[in-house]
Structure formats: structure tokens, C-alpha cells
Chains A and B, each alone.
Chain A
Amino acid sequence: MTVLDCKKLREVSFEMGPSLLELKGISKSFSGALVLDEVDFSVDSGEVHVLFGENGAGKSTLISIIAGALSPDKGVFNFKNNQIDIYSVHHARSLGISAVFQEFSLVPQMTVEENLFLGSEISRFGLLNKQEAHNQAKDILDRLGFDLKPNQRIDFLSRAEQQMVEIAKAFRDDVSVLILDEPTASLTEKETEQLFDLINLVKQDGVGIIYITHRISEIRRIGDRITVLRDGKKVGTAAADVPEKELVRMMTGKVFDQIFPKIDFKPGRNVLEINNLATQNGAVQDLSLSVNKGEIVGIAGLVGSGKSDIGRACFGLLDIASGQIRFDGMDISGNSPSQMLDLGLYYIPSDRRDEGLIMSRPSRESVSMSALSSPDFSKGLFIRLEQEKKKVNDLAGKMNLQPHNIEKAPSMFSGGNQQKIMLAKCLTRKVRLFVFDEPTVGVDVGTRIAIYEFIAELSMNGAAILVISSDLTEILHLPKRVYVMCRGHLSAELSGEALNQETVLEHCFGHEAA
């Protein structure tokens, strides 16, 4: 399975200096689901160790454990040749392990300097020493070469500038291990260059850096070693100049032919057509695509490429700046979700907890929620309770909800079963176009198979289907035709032979990999 034999691995690690931080057999599970399975990982002094893998591979969990935000269920932690336990983020920081997460931990109403010293404010005689904090903040920012004023308020800064503050915060104390979680995701090219210079600078001071990125070009540029995670397991560790093909193979693993149903595509007339769409928030620009009846079409792209925004714009959740969305030839740009539902367009959001289900109410109510006005569920103003129970029960049976109890709240079901509730929900109405945003995020393989069969059945019954996904295997095997998004623009439309890992990834990353 693993690409590199052990000998080679050992060579790689012996070439470097002594291990600064070493993790052995780290396991972690959340409510029964194993997220990390016996993962080994190490960082040496003065190296950049890239952590690579698909979404949900366990990267975030691993760095959360290293940063002290989570504690592992199992495993050993060696830091500077001493076995230790990390109790909290604060404890990790005091040891010299600092993390810069994608989600910012800044207080927007406070200034840069107040944020820098949040939690360890400089005080004298019990009072805040603002002058000293100001000076020290200025020193840190100057040393890092960031063009920021210490007394600026966070909410007036751009996202890139906020990212800089977050990085500066990590440098407040003496750092020996620095964790950077996709630090360049929101930076411009100039800012990215600055960050790389900075990384080279602190490398020379002997700091070990754990770097998470999706961009292959960055791995080449600053990485020394790379570790690939997949489904919570470590696939292997290699030197950063490993061939790209090999990297992709490590990341995506074997092809799950058996998971995907065979689908007879009989594309019919056009159902959805998007012409030169640009959204108000700028996430999507000049996008055109079309979906036909009885066809499954995929949209691939990295996080932040604008692929999710397409689905949201179709359903009237995002304001449209220009362009047109046509449904059955009718212009539906700017309709509200309830109008879209009435027309027969259904959007299944990626975040079940946040946008899909009423976590605290009986699941039955989540299922029937979008169809309450149909005669199946209500008569006049009144809900037909018995009918509702029967209908939802049938749907739960069809989706094989486990346990089969529609009065239980969604919060009491596993992720996979929550997703089944979401899917039961979209069977309550007559729908001609389904837009699935990450249909299999955070579900087990069994549910995954069920969901693919479900989608295949919908398509064979004549529905048009748009699947937006970050899951490469899914994008390669479920749809027949795939649009690839890169930084808000359509970078390719692939089908047939051209629809393969290399091409999709290449277009996902733009041409920066080349």
C-alpha cells in the first residue's frame, strides 16, 4: 500500500536533525467514529513538514491534538526527547508549540495589540501596561515585516491582514514548533511571498514548522518532508520532491469501483442553464454551465474556489451581480428559496447541523418542514398529523434510517443517519433539479454507498442532478460530466477520458503546479 519502503523513510528522517516533536500511535475518535488511527508524525528542528490529505482525512484533528486543543485517546507524545502530555492550548504555547488555525481566534472589536497579548496581557502593579504592550507589538510586527499598525481594530482589517495578526500572535512567545493551517488560502501573491520569507527566516532559528496546504506548488516551494493522511490513517512520509502523480495517488488511495453504482445516463432536455453568472460577493465570476434531465453533473474545486457559491446562487441564497440562471428556460435569478422549491429546484446544503436539520426537534419535523404546504401534509391551515407520521415513517424506511425512530431528534443520530434524514427531506416534494453540496461529508462508507445509490436512482427517474464536491473519488466516479472551479472561475469542463485525477487536480490548482 504505502509507496515508500521503510528503509527510504528512515533515511529521510536520519538526514534531518534530531526530532523536535514526535508523535507515536495517535488515535482519536468522536462519538464512535475513528478520526485518527494510530498515526505517527514527527517534526525536526528547522524543517517544514507538510501535512497533506483530502478534507476529512484527519489533518485538522491531528494539528488540534498537537496544539493542545484536543487530547488524543491513545498515543505517545515526545517533545525535545521528553515524554509529555499536553493539557491545553495554553500549556502547548508555554512549551513553545503555537498554532495558526484557519478559523481565526481574534476578537474583532479589539485592536491588533490587544489581540496579540490576549490571555497574557502585560501588566504592572495589577494595571495594564499599554505602552509596553504597544512597543512589544510593534517589535513583533516589525520583526515579521508586517505592515500593520498596532492600534488598528481587527474588524477594519482585510482577511489577509487578519491572517498576519494571527501569525504574529503565534510569535509572541518563543516558538519551537509552529503549526500553519492553510495560511496562504486568503493571502495575495505578494503576501504569500512575505510569508515564505518569514518561514525561511524562522527555519534558520531552528523552529520546526507543520504546514497544511492543498497547493502542490507550495509543497515544492517550502516543504522539506511531506506526510499524507487518508481516512484517519497515515499513508506515508516522503521527501517533498516526491513526484506529483505519486502524491495524488497517496492522497486519494485506491479506486473504489465497487462503491459507485452503474448509471445509465439518458440525458434529456436542458433543465438548468447558467449564463455568465457573477455573484455579488465575488466568489463566482463569469460562470456558464448547463445540466440536463436525467444527468448527474459534478462541480469540483478546492475550498474557497466558489463551487459552493454556485449552488447557493441557484437557490437564491446569494445575491447575483450579473448573469442569468435559467430553469426550464425560465429566468429564475433572484427568486427566494420558497419560490425555487415551488418550481421544483431543491438544494441540499453541506452543513446539516447549521442549515439542514432542526437538531432539537423530532426528526419527523425536519423531514416534513419543506413540504408542509402540500396537501400530503396539511389541509387548510392544519397539519395532517397522522398522515405526516405515516409519510415520514415510509421515507425513513426507504432511506433505511437506523434506528428507525422518526420522533428522535437528529442530534441523537450518527452523521450518516443525519444525512439520511436530509435525503428523506428532499423526497417530500416533486423535484426536477437537485443540487447536492457535499452529499457525503462526514459519513461512513456504508452510508456513502446508500447515498450514491439514492442519487443514481433519482437521476434514472429523470431528475437533473448537480453534485458539488471536494471529494475527488466522488467527482471522478459519480457524475458523467464535471466542471472544475478555480478561484471563482470555471477552469475546465471534463468528461469521458479527460475526466481523471490528474486533469481534475491540475485544473483545481490552476496552472501553478506546472
Chain B
Amino acid sequence: MEAKSPKSRNAISHYIRMAFIRLGVLPFLLVAAIIIFTALSDNFLTGRNLLNVVRQSTYLALVAVGQMFALLTGGFDLSVGTILAITSVVGALAMATAYSFMPDALFLAIAIGIIAGVLAGTMIGVVNGIGVAVFDVSPFMMTLGMASVGFGIALYLTGGIPVYGMPIEFGDIFGFGTFLGLPVPVLVAFLLILGMYIVVDRTRLGRHFYAVGGNIKAAHLSGINTNRTLFLAYVLSGFMAAISGILLTARLDSGEANIGASMPLESIAACVIAGVSLRGGIGKVENVVLGALFIGIVQNGMNLARIESYLQIVVIGLLLIFAVIVDRFRIKLVASCQD
């Protein structure tokens, strides 16, 4: 009888250990965050607020899934913020111009704006991909350089002033609209992320991302076109950030050059918290979405708990470092379990 209590406690700690090894730190963080914020604010655990969290996290989730492609191949994309900015500015300018010339062709103007914005944003990804894959520039320098280039262009195009003059319907549909009871941006993000999930999990391209990040030499020897794979990783990252940028533009009803400033850090944080390896080769789409959701929950919870917004930035940074430290610890734990 005496021995039973420590035994069952051992069993529980064993299960927690195994869960930690298998799932990583994210489930624990999510549970902790939900408990803490429910205690701090009555409004946190309500259906309305949770839907709000999901809607707010949409933009980050899109960027983070794109970021994951770059991370999977062993690089990263620091230009995602700039891609949002370029998309927003170019999309808004194109849409407003088209609208002013042909006020009757409302949906044509919206389509022109969306296509122009997404193309402009994706182009940054294309340039990143060429730099990394063809010219062998380190992803750090390439995407950092492009972040500056893109941000400069966005500021130059707008003179630093927000772009207005888009049709009101654009914001009504893509920013605030609902379809089947779900916000349109959430729906768009859901479909796209589902598509990306299939790409990563079910297609050869997805497998190539993992292979190139896991061992680029072995991938090359196995006949995988590693340059093409690296290139596509940055193009997809750019595309996802561009979609996020256009949706955010609809939400704000204006094209702005500074909308993505926090995205590089937050998207990498979402991925790392979700267990994506910074050395490449490891990561899952569904976890990254949860990672983005977690950051959304933390921000929302801190707002409800009336924590000052400047302090929130501190918390996000600390969480990122905490996640990396815990991940190191997990790797050691995994190694020790093998003996």
C-alpha cells in the first residue's frame, strides 16, 4: 500500500515525460495560457472572444506556415514583414487606381488589386529564392537584404502615407465579411493552409522540403533537385505572406507600409514554439497553426488582463527564447531515452 502512491506518481510523471517528448512544449503552453487567462479575466473563455482570437491569429498563421517552408529547408525568411507591406501598398494602389478609372467595374478593380498585390509580394519571395538557390547567398543575408529593399520600395511608393481610395466592398467582404457564419479571412486562411498541409504531407515537393532540410547532400545524391526545392520554399513563403498582407489590407481598409513589422519575429516564434527545428527537416503544418494560435491567445489574454502593449512585446520575445531552451532540453531528453 505504501509503495503505491509514489508508483502511480511515477507513472504520471512518466506519461508527462513521454507526452513532452512526443508533442513538445506547445500543448503544455496552450493549457497553461488558457488556465492563466481564464483566471485573470472573465471574458476570456467565451465563444465570442475565442472566435476573435482565431480571427486575429489568421494573419500570423498564414505567414507562419509560409515561414515553415523556409525553416524546413534549413533557412529562414526575415523578409515576411516586408512582403506584407509591399503587398498591402501595391495592392491598395492598384485597386484604388483601377477603381478611380472605372468606378462601375467594382469587382474587376478588386480583383486587379488583389492580383497585383499578391504578385508583388510573391516577387520578393522569388528574388529570395533565386538568391538562396542559385547564387548560394545565406538565407539570413538574402532575406534581410530583401527586407530592406522591399520596405524601402513600399515607403517610396506611398511617401510613408497610408493609401486610401479602395472600394468599400473590398473591406466589407475580405476584412469583415462572413460566410456560413465564419469570418471570410478565417475561411480563406483555412482553405489555403489545408492546401499547404496537403502539399507538405502528401506531395513529392513536401517530401523534398524535408529531405533538403534534413540532409541536403543525401537529397542531392538521391536525385532531388535541391536548387528547385530551395527556390520554391521561398516562393511559397512569399506567397503565404502576400495573402496575409492582402487580407490585412482589407481589414484595415488602407494600404500601409508598416503593417508587417512584427511578423518576422512572431512567425519564427510560432514555428519554433510549434517544434519546427531551426536546423531544418522537422516541423508540421498543423502544429505551426497551433503555434500561431498560441501567440494570438497570449496577446488577446494580455489585452483582456490590461497588460500594457509595450510589455506584451517583451513577453513574446521571452516566450520565443523560453521555447528554444525547452526544445534543447527535449532533445537531450530524447537522447537520454535512447540509451
Interface residues of A (CB under 8 A from B): 315, 317, 337-338, 340-342, 347, 349, 354-361, 365-366, 369-370, 372-373, 378, 381-383, 385, 412, 425
Q: Is B225 within 8 A of A358, CB to CB?
A: no
What residues of B have a CB within 8 angstroms of the CB of A315 in the complex? 221
Q: Is A338 within 8 A of B224, CB to CB?
A: yes
Q: Is B220 within 8 A of A337, CB to CB?
A: yes
Question: In the assembled complex, how far is the CB of residue A348 from the closest CB belonging to chain B, in whole angstroms?
Answer: 9
Question: In the assembled complex, how far is the CB of residue A256 from the closest CB belonging to chain B, in whole angstroms?
Answer: 30
Q: A358-B211, A366-B218 are in contact. Are A337 and B223 (CB under 8 A)?
A: yes
Tell yes or no: B254 within 8 A of A by CB. no
Q: List 11 A–B pairs whose Cβ atoms lie within 8 Å, in order of A's numbering.
A: A342-B223, A355-B215, A358-B210, A359-B214, A360-B282, A365-B214, A369-B218, A369-B224, A372-B204, A382-B202, A382-B203
What residues of B have a CB within 8 angstroms of the CB of A378 in the complex? 204
Question: In the assembled complex, how far is the CB of residue B226 from the closest CB belonging to chain A, in whole angstroms?
Answer: 10
State which of A337, A361, A370 has its C-beta within 8 Å of the C-beta of B214. A361
Q: Is A383 within 8 A of B220, CB to CB?
A: no
What residues of A have a CB within 8 angstroms of the CB of B222 in the complex? 337, 341, 369-370, 425
State which of B206, B210, B215, B225 has its C-beta within 8 Å of the C-beta of A338. B225
Interface string of B174-203 (1 = CB under 8 A from A): 000000000000000000000000000011
State which of A341, A342, A358 has its C-beta within 8 Å of the C-beta of B218. A358
Q: Is B221 within 8 A of A381, CB to CB?
A: no
CA–CA, A355 and B211, complex, Å: 12
CA–CA, A365 and B282, complex, Å: 13
Q: Is A360 within 8 A of B277, CB to CB?
A: yes
Closest to A356 in B: B218
Tell yes or no: B205 within 8 A of A by CB. yes
Question: In the assembled complex, how far is the CB of residue B197 from the closest CB belonging to chain A, in whole angstroms?
Answer: 13
Question: In the assembled complex, how far is the CB of residue A389 from the closest CB belonging to chain B, in whole angstroms?
Answer: 13
Q: Is A373 within 8 A of B204, CB to CB?
A: yes
Interchain residue pairs A-B with the least CB separation, the first 10: A358-B214, A338-B223, A370-B222, A341-B223, A369-B222, A355-B217, A358-B215, A381-B203, A361-B214, A372-B204
* B272-289, CB < 8 A from A: 277, 279, 281-282
CA–CA, A366 and B217, complex, Å: 12
What residues of A have a CB within 8 angstroms of the CB of B224 in the complex? 338, 369-370, 372
Tell yes or no: B338 within 8 A of A by CB. yes
Q: Is B218 within 8 A of A412, CB to CB?
A: no
Q: Is B204 within 8 A of A381, CB to CB?
A: yes
Q: Is A383 within 8 A of B210, CB to CB?
A: no
What residues of A have a CB within 8 angstroms of the CB of B277 in the complex? 360
Question: In the assembled complex, how far is the CB of residue B198 from the closest CB belonging to chain A, in whole angstroms?
Answer: 8
Tell yes or no: B207 within 8 A of A by CB. yes
Scoring B202, B214, B222 by chain A CB atoms within 10 A of each residue's CB, the highest score goes to B222
Tell yes or no: B219 within 8 A of A by CB. yes
Question: In the assembled complex, how far is the CB of residue B202 from the closest CB belonging to chain A, in whole angstroms?
Answer: 5
Closest to A354 in B: B217
What residues of A have a CB within 8 angstroms of the CB of B218 in the complex? 355-358, 366, 369
Q: Is B207 within 8 A of A365, CB to CB?
A: yes
Question: In the assembled complex, how far is the CB of residue B214 from the closest CB belonging to chain A, in whole angstroms?
Answer: 3
CA–CA, A398 and B86, complex, Å: 55
Q: A360-B282, A381-B204 are in contact. Are A370 and B217 (CB under 8 A)?
A: no
Q: Is B219 within 8 A of A369, CB to CB?
A: yes
Q: Is A383 within 8 A of B202, CB to CB?
A: yes
What residues of B have a CB within 8 angstroms of the CB of A370 in the complex? 221-224
Q: Is A365 within 8 A of B211, CB to CB?
A: yes
CA–CA, A373 and B208, complex, Å: 11
10 other A-B residue contacts (CB within 8 Å) besides A354-B217, A383-B202, A383-B204: A317-B221, A337-B221, A349-B221, A354-B215, A355-B215, A357-B215, A359-B214, A361-B210, A365-B210, A369-B218
What residues of B have a CB within 8 angstroms of the CB of A373 in the complex? 204
Closest to A388 in B: B207
Question: In the assembled complex, how far is the CB of residue B230 from the closest CB belonging to chain A, in whole angstroms?
Answer: 15
Q: Is B281 within 8 A of A358, CB to CB?
A: yes
Q: A355-B221, A369-B224, A372-B207 are in contact. Are A385 and B214 (CB under 8 A)?
A: no
What residues of A have a CB within 8 angstroms of the CB of B279 in the complex? 360
Question: In the assembled complex, how far is the CB of residue A1 from the closest CB belonging to chain B, in whole angstroms?
Answer: 34
CA–CA, A372 and B222, complex, Å: 9
CA–CA, A182 and B272, complex, Å: 44
What residues of A have a CB within 8 angstroms of the CB of B202 in the complex? 382-383, 385
What residues of B have a CB within 8 angstroms of the CB of A357 in the complex? 215, 218
Closest to A385 in B: B202
